[in-house]
Amino acid sequence: MIEHNISLKPYNTFGIDVQAKAFGRFTSVDELKELLVNRDREMPLFILGGGSNVLLTRDLPFFVLKNEILGVDVMSETDTHLVLKAGSGVEWHSFVRYTVENGWGGIENMSLIPGSVGASPMQNIGAYGAEIKDTFVSLEALHIESLELHTFNKEECAFGYRESVFKRALKDQYVIVSVTYELAKNPKINTTYGAIQSEIEVMGVTDVTVDTVSQAVMNIRRSKLPDPKELGNAGSFFKNPLVSKAVFEQIQANYPDAPHYPQETGEEKLAAGWLIEKAGWKGKRIGNCGVHERQALVLVNYGGATGNEVYDLSTQIIADIQSKFGVTLEREVNIL
């Protein structure tokens, strides 16, 4: 069924109230094909998962396709590993918890990232030292024009930091319908990143399992990040910028404590949140939106903000960071 002039407020974690000109849900590849065949070809398409990585700045003159393809299947299994295929509409965190509760390891550090399985390869989601590219095997995607299903392996997805081919060369050409991951039965646990180790100590757990790591990540995230159900947001609004060694050394001369992560390319990755905080934006409110008081990388909707208000705030922050540090911030959130 195709509906018209539907409010997208319940479908985006920023809680922005705009309308979609047309709206349809699909729970299978066949339903998706049917919507695509019967669509008004004049209207651009937008594929919507959990709406946790979008900022909607206007009523969308689009056909919004809401992905609700569910199901998780074990495809193959050895003594040490198993290969799992998940429907792209499965909620990412539920999928993580399902794997963790079975003792399978590989994605536990990415607990509590909102959104759908299908969006996980879009920007190669990552947190606490893990990225989906580390466990990714392949994905199936429907080509919007030919309606053919294609399988993409890891190389073809061209994963990078919050990047994939689906945000670049193949943008708007495919709908991801399933993603396949390989998980370990005797997982190597990674507690080195951020506060995971100290959180596990606070939890008082000595026999550390993937579930312990997942719980620790959930505790840390709940203490640091606003819950979109209470305060609209889309997580990190900006990417951590990559800069040349020369730019970094200039910043370091003024701020010896500037966090930085040397890259194989010789560049340095800076912490966008640190730059925004140093520039004095943390906790700042402008109208109905602002910069979160505990995490400067997160822009929030205090209620009733328009997408343009949030966008304007992000533009001011980008200009300020450019003038203070000579660094250009790039938005991680998809702007529509």
**Residue 251 or 297: which CB sits closer to ligand FAD?**
297
Q: Closer to ligand FAD at the Cβ: 327 or 333? A: 333
Question: Could you tell me the smallest distance in angstroms from the CB atom of residue 228 to ligand FAD?
Answer: 5
Nearest to ligand FAD of 52, 212 (CB atom): 52
Q: Which of 120, 138, 236, 314 does the annotation list as catalytic? A: 236
Nearer to ligand FAD, 79 or 230 (CB): 230
Q: From the CB of 262, what's the least distance to ligand FAD, in Å?
A: 21
Work out how close the CB of 278 gets to ligand FAD at its nearest, in angstroms, rounded to a whole number.
22
Closest contact distance (angstroms) between CB of 184 and ligand FAD is 21
- Classify residue 79 as exposed, middle or buried by CB count within 10 Å of its CB (0-12, 13-18, 19+): exposed
Q: Which of 111, 162, 199, 214 is catalytic?
A: 162
Cα–Cα distances (Å) from 153 to 137, 138, 141, 164, 330, in that order, read 6, 4, 11, 12, 27
Lookup: tokens for 211: 């579930």
294 as an active site residue: the answer is no
3-state secondary structure of 332: coil
d(CA 215, CA 209): 10
The count of C-alpha atoms lying within 13 angstroms of the C-alpha of 98, restricted to the half-sphere facing its C-beta, is 15
How many angstroms separate the CA atoms of 185 and 106, rounded?
A: 9
Is the CB of 14 or the CB of 104 nearer to ligand FAD?
14
Q: Could you tell me the sign of the dihedral formed by the alpha carbons of 65, 122, 163, 157, in that order?
A: negative
3-state secondary structure of 274: helix
Alpha-carbon distance 230 to 49, whole Å?
20
**Contact predicate 96/111, CB 8 Å:** yes
Q: Which residues bind ligand FAD (CB under 6 A)?
A: 13, 46-54, 67, 88, 113-116, 118-120, 122-123, 125-127, 175-176, 225, 228, 233-235, 334
| CB distance 11 to 66 below 8 Å | yes
Beta strands (DSSP E) in the chain are 3-7, 19-26, 45-48, 54-55, 60-67, 72-77, 81-87, 126-127, 130-131, 136-143, 149-153, 174-184, 232-236, 242-243, 260-262, 268-270, 285-286, 289-291, 298-301, 334-335
Q: Least distance in Å: CB of 244 to ligand FAD?
A: 25
Q: State in angstroms the smallest separation of the CB of 236 from ligand FAD.
A: 6
* Active-site pick, 140, 268, 309, 332: 332
User: Rounded to an integer, what distance in angstroms lies between the CA atom of residue 271 and that of residue 258?
Assistant: 8
Comparing CB distances to ligand FAD, the nearer of 119 and 275 is 119
Q: Is 201 a catalytic residue?
A: no
CB of 54 to ligand FAD, least distance (A): 4
Q: How far apart are CA 123 and CA 134, in angstroms?
A: 13
162 is catalytic: yes
Cβ distance to ligand FAD smaller for residue 120 or 301: 120
Q: Which residues have a catalytic role annotated?
A: 162, 236, 332
